[in-house]
Structure 1
Amino acid sequence: MENVLGVDIGGTKIHLGIINASGQILYEEKIPTQIPLYPYLEENILRILADQPDVSAIGVGTHGFVDPKQGKVIYSAETLPGWSNTPVKEWLEKATGKRVEVENDANVVALAEAKFGAAQGLSRVVVLTLGTGLGGGVLWDGKLLSGGPYGGAAEFGHMILYPNGIKCACGRLGCSEMYVSGTALRNRIETAGLTFTPPELFEHAQSDPKAKKVVEEFTGDLALVISSLQAAFDMEMVIIGGGVSEAADLWMESLQQQLQPMLLNPLDIEVARFENDAGILGAALLVLETE
């Protein structure tokens, strides 16, 4: 099996990596996300392929609602302007002459963690990615729960957490990602009149009462989301990834304390083993697993 290119497209950066069949990352780079996105993406993929001719296929994980059968982005909100309705698979296959598979970014994290990471050997797992938005992925009896007629399966960021709450980029009020995501955390910090970055917030929460209150409100809302998902999926484990997970050792205790009274059954909470590499690993698995 030759090497494959895994591409993880987020609201602020694109992570690209060449990965072999045993999950080793042989080469990787991060570039800032630029709009219009498709020509920029194609240009950078072609640049990497010119240097790495032994890449046999390309897997793409992207923010937004995705139809994995067509390899098309159905809807991406304003996080990636102009990305909705982009036939990524069709265009990239034409440009590169290689097989391309496309999935939602949180779904590919679920794949990576199930194959190589925290969820090895488990059959029912929910993944939450706390980045620009709140992404979701579900492993159901060992298979990825994805697609749907509109590509919207497992879009947990758009479950309503607070009816008539903060307006979301999708146009509705009170979506979970307006309260539980990296962007939401920055908004909470600003509203509280603090000047910390999210990592600084977690560090100061030990000594600063204002910072502690912001963290507790954030982890309390995350606990609400997790408890609702348990009622729907009765999963063995929740895996938390995305940028906010990198400071999880500073906020996990707060989450666990607030989650315990809400749980129907015991539930393991783990941080994504690969942190920000899970996206490119999972994207690579879209083409590695099925060859």
Structure 2
Amino acid sequence: MEKVLGVDIGGTKIRLGIIDASGQILYEEKIPTIIPLYPYLEENILRILAEQPEVHAIGIGTHGFVDPKQGKVIYAAETLPGWSNTPVKEWLEKATGKQVEVENDANVVALAEAKFGAAQGLNRVVVLTLGTGLGGGVLWDGKLLSGGPHGGAAELGHMILYPNGVTCACGRSGCSEMYVSGTALERRIDEAGLQITPPELFRNANTDLVAKRVVDGFTTDLALVISSLQAAFDMEMVIIGGGVSEAAYLWMDELQQKLKTVLLNPLKVEVARFENDAGILGAALLVLEN
């Protein structure tokens, strides 16, 4: 049976998994993200290929703006220093002799959810990954909306939500990810004078007025982001993934209430089926589908 290697590159860790055509994960491991990234990535991929020679192709999902045609990282913020302008596909194909495809990490999550998860059978889907930043993946008539002249298509976290707002890692002010992400939640908690984690914030919101106000601000802003995306894409479903989604059962009802006042049309909002595995599954689909 066809086997491929899926690689999910994040700011703090890299997950690698061998996946078959049915989406079953046959082997996986997690390693810390070490800079400089490329030689370390190549070394670990070659190690796995030596142990698993039946792997015939490699799919990679990575943080940053990606040109999927060239398989090149166009821009990555300081989350991954030195990763900008890395021709990952060219270098890895030369090193391994195998087909390599590269995409943005939120885009591959969209692929995984469309093929195996919450969006099975749907054609127009927006995925929002609420982690360190706010990632976006758009499935348009069954195909990923990605690339662009600067690799920046579907960088939904960099839509400006509040002009002249909080400074983003991209250098501009007021980007959505500065209000709707794990990092944004930590800032909101700090500004409120609370000394708790985001999961504790959501748990405390029923009994603590200050925590409730923070959650109210977060869900209001997330509803605004989703509303703007609906005006652009008129999608069938929004899927919310990333670390913040793990506590979604504590804040989803409030988000749904906020959405009622800002949506143009009814819209399904679901939590991603695959949490940690979405990245490697979606990365694998880049080459399983070819």
Q: Structure 2-normalised TM-score?
A: 0.98
Separation (CA, whole Å) in 1 of partners of 2:15 and 2:195: 28
CA distance in 1, matches of 2:134, 2:66: 15
Amino acid at match of 2:137: G
Q: Does 1:34 align with 2:34?
A: yes
Secondary structure of 1:40's counterpart equals: helix
Q: Distance in 1 between matches of 2:72 and 2:254?
A: 39
SS in 1 for 2:56: strand
In the TM superposition, what is the alpha-carbon distance from 1:199 to its structure 2 partner? 1.5
Consecutive unaligned residues of structure 2, counting only runs of 5 or more, are none
Pair 1:192-2:201 in alignment: no
The equivalent residue for 2:113 is 113
**Aligned residue number for residue 212 of structure 1:** 212
User: Contact 1:10/1:132 (CA < 8 Å) preserved in 2?
Assistant: no
Q: Does 1:51 pair with 2:20?
A: no
Amino acid across the alignment from 1:281:
L
Question: Within 2, Cα distance between the matches of 1:31 and 1:244?
Answer: 22
Question: 1:1-291, aligned counterparts within 5 Å?
Answer: 1-290=1-290
Query: Using the alignment, how far apart are the partners of 1:279 and 1:30 within structure 2?
Result: 12
State the alpha-carbon separation in 2 of the partners of residues 81 and 36 from structure 1.
8
Q: Given that residues 14 and 32 in structure 1 are in contact (C-alpha distance below 8 angstroms), is that contact kept between their aligned partners in structure 2?
A: yes
Count of residues paired in the alignment: 290
Distance in 1 of aligned mates of 2:10 and 2:228: 26
TM score, norm. by length of structure 1: 0.97
Alpha-carbon displacement from aligned partner over 1:135-180 (angstroms, at most 9, x marks no partner)? 1111111111111111100000110000001111111111111111
Moved over 6 A (4+): none
Distance 2:264 2:167 in 1: 30
Measured in 2, the distance between the counterparts of 1:49 and 1:190 equals 45
Contact 1:71 1:101 in 2 (8 A): yes
Q: Secondary structure at the match of 1:78?
A: coil
Q: 1:276 is paired with a residue of what secondary structure?
A: coil
Instruction: Find the aligned partners of 1:43 and 1:193 in 2 and give their Cα distance.
Output: 45
Contact 1:192–1:210 (8 Å) recurs in 2? yes
Q: Distance in 1 between matches of 2:258 and 2:109?
A: 25
Deviation at 1:219, TM superposition (A): 1.1
Matches of 2:219 and 2:13 in 1, distance apart? 25
Give 2:119's aligned amino acid: A
- Inter-partner Cα distance in structure 1 for 2:7 and 2:199: 26
SS at match of 1:189: helix
Greater shift after overlay, 189-198 or 60-69? 189-198
RMSD: 1.0
Query: What do the CA deviations read for 1:95-134 (whole angstroms, capped 9, x no partner)?
Result: 1111100001111011111100100111110010111111
C-alpha distance in structure 1 between counterparts of 2:202 and 2:96, whole Å:
44
CA distance in structure 1 between the partners assigned to 2:198 and 2:17 by the alignment: 27
Task: Give the drift of 1:2.
Answer: 2.3
Structure 2 letter corresponding to 1:126: V
Identity over the aligned pairs, expressed in percent? 86
CA distance in 1, matches of 2:46, 2:31: 14
